[in-house]
A and B are shown apart, each in its own frame.
Chain A
Amino acid sequence: MNFWEYLGNRHQQLLADAFQHASAVFQCMVIATLLGVLIGVLTYRREWAGNLAITSTATILTVPSLALIGLLIPVLGLGVAPTVTALVLYGLLPITRNAVVGLRGVDPTLVDAAKGIGMSRAARLLRVELPLAWPPILTGIRVATQMLMGIAAIAAFASGPGLGNQIFRGISSLGSSNALNEVLSGTLGIVILALLFDAVYVLIGRLTISRGIRA
């Protein structure tokens, strides 16, 4: 069976896997974004806190994904829980770092002006600082998404959902007639998904970054 025949045969399975893959990445990105921005907002004002946040999220990233999932299985069991946890943890670094750097990069005279015209701390954050820090944060989210696309494939190791299952099935049955097709379709699917997500981010950037600060 050549690759095209394989796709024709299995397209339903593949689509379901792709959908699950995308949905897992999407949901984890939502959680990671909320958490990452929150950590950024809570820490950027203090030198040490912000640096600690960046360093600790960076440390997580140095743990190989397979190892992290392996470590999580005894604690959280198999399936969705370790997958989500691992993906969120990996997604945190780029988002947290860019949130801290972005918020710190807001021109202090603008913050002064915001204070000076009587904006409360919350208003300053929501109306001035976050909108101005949003472009780098969105870049962080993009980078994190690309990363999670690949890492999500590893989740199949913990019986997680997604295209990783194709790849693992292929690897475990290397030599069989469909092994290559399986690995190839899984990998290609991930690449295509990543490109689609990126296109969506470009669109989101267009819609959410003010024309006044767009490059």
Chain B
Amino acid sequence: MPETQPPTAAAAGPAADAGPAAGAAPVTGATIQLENLSKRYHGSALPAVDSVNMEIGAGELVVFVGPSGCGKSTLLKMINRLIEPTSGRIRIGGEDVTRIDPVKLRRKVGYAIQASGLFPHMTVGDNIGLVPKMIGWSKTKVKDRVEEMLDLVGLDPKEFHGRYPRQLSGGQQQRVGVARALAADPPVLLMDEPFGAVDPITRDHLQDELIRLQRELHKTIVFVTHDFDEAVKLGDRIVVLREQSHIAQFDTPEAILTNPSDDFVSGFVGAGAALKRLNLTRVRDVGIADFPTVSVDDPLQSIFDRLRAGTHSELLLLDRKGRPYKWLRRGDLMRAKGSLARAGTLVGDYVTRDATLRDALEAVLTDSSGRVAVTGRRGEYIGVVDMETLMNSVHELLEEDRLSAMEAQHELEETRAQQTHLAQEGGAAAGPVPENGAGSSVAGGGGRLEGK
């Protein structure tokens, strides 16, 4: 049963111009370009952010990750100029916003923070409708928008519209915070550890929600976290930052997991990179195999015959609605004296096509049959994934990652060689290529490059 849907979970890669090619929703995001962006706080010797160059494509979700104090928040807040850069330039959608009225800038850039930042004296509805109202939307339009946004983040408008923030759980507050940030439909959304203050299970939900939301909206999202797993889960691309916001690596999660650029990045990736890699691929992306099935409605004799004659020594018994019910082995029926109700072993776990390979592996390891049933939206049987398929896919994935990493490495070396060549020919005009520890490099013409 081959799937024709595009692999949405896999990152679209550096979507510099076009953004994700696939997907029904139009890209509503805008590019963000940071050019030599620096911030030195008053009275500190070293800059908190030191000459960052970065280009984020329209509709991309980029995650900044790095140790505490490395300047993630400072870098993020310079994008909407909550912190004014000491030097450098910010462009959003190509427009230089470094000097425009910051209030105007911030209306194009949504902002969601840890602990939601909701105004406690306003109702949920007022919080969400605040920005639309400020930019002069009509009352009815604001009201409709508030309902739409509550719907979008999965809260019942009727129930939550009139509540005050303190009457919400942490996770609900965070949803409202995101709804407020998106209310005026800004092309860019900045999120500073938005899920940092909620429990792990709620955080997982909120992350899933954000992925779904982004699949619908295609905003340009910059997301700050110090949780690398969160970065892998959410990011189309990840920026690993070291102290002073030096870019250690800027690449897809796959590339960072399989080919960390240096010890700092590997240290950050932590143990179990191959396992983490499993989180990036969905069951729908690997081969789902067919498996012989019988239904509880089939005559007992035919089930007998198939078990005895078939090449498979095992069958999957489906219930009346076509859902996986039991694994039947040869001899099971005999032992149960011909009673289907008593024969075989119940199907313990199953996964959907959207499950990650990690979930699938977990299920395979715990199911006695050594395979896991894949089910559709209503729980109906679609196929199975077994240990062998999983192992093969993982090996293939890792191999693929290794190849593309090598290719990227090769390309980079080529450009470097070219630049050195140019620099030697052009003499002083081209300027030296700064070779700081981060390995950030400067492109020829525009003076920027997306890390490496």
Contacts and interface: CB of A to CB of B under 8 A. Distances in A.
Contacts of A112: 82, 113, 117
Contact of A211 (B106, B130, B164): B164
A116 B113 contact: yes
A110 interface: yes
Given A109-B113, A112-B113, A113-B113, A118 B121 contact: no
A128 interface: yes
A127 interface: yes
A116 B164 contact: no
28 contacts: A110-B120, A112-B82, A113-B111, A113-B113, A113-B118, A113-B119, A115-B82, A116-B82, A116-B106, A117-B106, A117-B110, A117-B111, A117-B131, A118-B104, A118-B131, A118-B184, A119-B103, A119-B130, A120-B103, A123-B134, A127-B130, A132-B121, A210-B120, A212-B164, A212-B165, A212-B166, A213-B120, A213-B121
Nearest to A116: B111
Secondary structure of the A contact surface, majority rule: helix
Given A113-B118, A118-B107, A127-B130, 14 more contacts: A109-B113, A110-B119, A112-B113, A113-B111, A113-B113, A114-B119, A116-B80, A116-B106, A117-B131, A123-B134, A131-B121, A132-B121, A210-B164, A212-B164
Contacts of B134: 118-119, 123
Interface in B203-218: none
Interface residues of B, number: 30
Contacts of A212: 120-123, 164-166
Nearest to B177: A113
Interface string A204-215: 000000111100
Nearest to A212: B164
A109 B113 CA distance: 9
Contacts of B131: 117-118
Classify chain A's interface size: 20 to 34
Q: Which of A113, A115, A119, A211 lies at the interface centre, i.e. has the most chain B CB atoms within 10 A of its CB?
A: A113
B181 A117 contact: yes
Q: Which of B103, B180, B181 lies at the interface centre, i.e. has the most chain A CB atoms within 10 A of its CB?
A: B103
B115 interface: yes
A212 B80 CA distance: 29
A109 B119 CA distance: 10
Contacts of B117: 109-110, 112-113, 116
Interface in B91-127: 103-107, 109-111, 113-115, 117-123
Q: Which of A113, A117, A128, A212 lies at the interface centre, i.e. has the most chain B CB atoms within 10 A of its CB?
A: A117
Interface in B116-147: 117-123, 130-131, 134
Nearest to B162: A211
Interface string B63-98: 000000000000000001010000000000000000
Nearest to A134: B121
Q: List 7 A-B pairs, minimum CB-CB distance, nearest first.
A: A113-B117, A212-B164, A116-B111, A210-B121, A118-B106, A118-B107, A212-B121
Q: Which of A110, A131, A132 lies at the interface centre, i.e. has the most chain B CB atoms within 10 A of its CB?
A: A110
A91 B327 CA distance: 84
